[in-house]
Amino acid sequence: MKRETTEIRQEQIKRAVLDIIFKDGLDQLSTRNLAKRVGITEGAIFRHFKSKRDIMLGIMQDVKSDLIGELRHIALGAEGSEKRLFTFLCRHVKYLLENKGITILLFSEAAHMNDKELKDNLHEILSEQKSLISKIIKDGMAEGLWNKKLDGDDIATIYMGIPITLNIELILNPDKFNINNFCKRMFILMQRMLSK
Partner DNA sequence: AATGTGTAAGTAAGTGATTACATATAATGG
Partner DNA sequence: CCATTATATGTAATCACTTACTTACACATT
Residue 19 is a binding residue for a second copy (CB under 8 A): no
Residue 26 is a binding residue for a second copy (CB under 8 A): yes
Minimum CB distance to DNA, residue 165 (Å): 28
Give the contacts of 72 (CB within 8 A, at least 6 positions apart).
128, 132
CB 85 within 8 A of CB 134: no
Residue 112 is a binding residue for a second copy (CB under 8 A): yes
CB 128 within 8 A of CB 72: yes
- Cα four-point dihedral sign 41, 113, 165, 78: negative
Site for DNA in 14-73 (CB under 7 A): 29-33, 35, 39-44, 46-48, 50-53
Minimum CB distance to DNA, residue 151 (Å): 41
Residue 6 is a binding residue for a second copy (CB under 8 A): no
Site for DNA in 90-109 (CB under 7 A): none
Count CB atoms within 10 A of the CB of residue 133.
Answer: 26
Residue 162 is a binding residue for a second copy (CB under 8 A): yes
Q: DSSP letter at 5?
A: -
Minimum CB distance to a second copy, residue 190 (Å): 8
- Cα four-point dihedral sign 156, 53, 50, 8: negative
Minimum CB distance to DNA, residue 45 (Å): 7
- Nearest-angstrom CA–CA distance, 164 and 170: 10
Applying CB under 7 A, the residues found at the interface with DNA are 1-6, 9, 29-33, 35, 39-44, 46-48, 50-53
